[in-house]
Amino acid sequence: MAKIGDLVNKSGVYTKPGVVIEKKDDGNLVIDTDPMAVNKYHRYINTTGLSEGEKAEFNTILDQIYTKENDMDRLNDIQTEIDRLKMDPQSKNIVQYLRNQQSHLIREAKALPQKYQVDENQLKR
């Protein structure tokens, strides 16, 4: 089931990526291929799967974090947000997308967050 803001890589003869901006009652979707429309929902990673509100919250969090230029600061800030949001079951989708962004940044920066939280049962001994 498509949601407003979902990424559409290409559809039929239309080969430019776009985003769903409207769902019609007849089942048709209106796709906007303007790069700024795509950027509105998918500034950092593909956030298809999040609701429109979750996409906005995810982008707002990362907009604040990415004002910093140091990748270690970014990694630590993403981890802080993950730890904060994990406490709210309603935020589980955003947490998962933040983890995906963090994984991407870890590979890029070749570093890990300085501190993180983990469930004791997940530790391998």
Span 2-27, pLDDT tens digits = 899 999 987 667 778 899 999 999 98
Instruction: Determine the pLDDT at residue 110.
Output: 87
- Collapsed DSSP state (helix, strand, coil) of residue 27: coil
Instruction: Determine the pLDDT at residue 9.
Output: 87
- Which phi and psi angles does 14 have, rounded to 5°? -85, 110
Cβ proximity of 4 and 21 under 8 Å: yes
Residue-wise pLDDT for 88-125, tens only, equals 999 999 999 999 999 999 998 888 888 777 777 877 77
